[in-house]
């Protein structure tokens, strides 16, 4: 969700003055500033174009007999105690009816991969690990129109 439909980068930018490329982790000193708000995931905005993107991905999933779900993660230190609750509520508020699954951590997403499963993610490591596990991995580079084109090509 984060970095694809949930605008974590804007939130982080407002707190520490920058966002990381490729979903890279923040240095601990900056992460502590970001995570100081235990309800940060409830406050994330929606990435520009995300509603149209999700509508089109939903249509593709229906047309190809696939399931659509969000696969997300909690922070590695589990230091935002409301992350599970707030991510589920965020998804239901902005994209009702799409289930939310958890890695639980980012490094665990790969364990959900099955041949033919597609992951759209912003983090380099998740993309590499998902593909190595036999899934189809599409990295979002903050350009949902391009990501959608690559999804259609992959299918």
| Centroid of chain to Cα 122 | 7
Query: Do 120 and 140 meet the contact criterion of CB atoms below 8 Å apart?
Result: yes
- For 46-75, what is the mean pLDDT? 97
Looking at the domain that runs over 6-154, which CATH code has it been given?
Answer: 3.40.50
Q: Sign of torsion, CA 51 54 60 64?
A: negative
- For 26-36, what is the mean pLDDT? 94
- For residue range 84-139, what is the model confidence (pLDDT) as tens digits? 999 999 999 999 999 999 999 999 999 999 999 999 999 999 999 999 999 999 99
Count of helices and strands (H, E) across the chain = 6, 6
Return mean pLDDT, the chain. Answer: 95
The residues near 116 (Cβ < 8 Å, ≥ 6 apart) are 135, 136
Domain spans of the chain, in order of start: 6-154
Query: Do 134 and 113 meet the contact criterion of CB atoms below 8 Å apart?
Result: yes
């Amino acid at each position: 969700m984060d970095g694809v439909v949930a605008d974590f980068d804007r939130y982080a930018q407002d707190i520490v003055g920058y966002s990381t490329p490729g979903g890279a982790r923040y240095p601990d000193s900056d992460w502590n500033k970001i995570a100081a708000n235990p309800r940060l995931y409830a406050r994330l905005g929606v990435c520009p174009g995300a509603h149209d993107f999700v509508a089109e991905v939903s249509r593709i999933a229906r047309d190809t007999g696939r399931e659509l779900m969000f696969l997300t993660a909690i922070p590695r230190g589990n230091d935002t105690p409301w992350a599970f609750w707030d991510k589920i509520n965020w998804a239901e508020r902005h994209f009702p009816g799409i289930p939310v699954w958890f890695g639980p951590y980012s490094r665990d997403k790969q364990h959900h991969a099955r041949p033919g499963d597609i992951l759209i993610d912003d983090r380099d490591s998740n993309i590499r690990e998902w593909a190595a596990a036999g899934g189809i991995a599409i990295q979002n580079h903050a350009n949902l129109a391009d990501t959608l084109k690559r999804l259609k090509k992959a299918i």
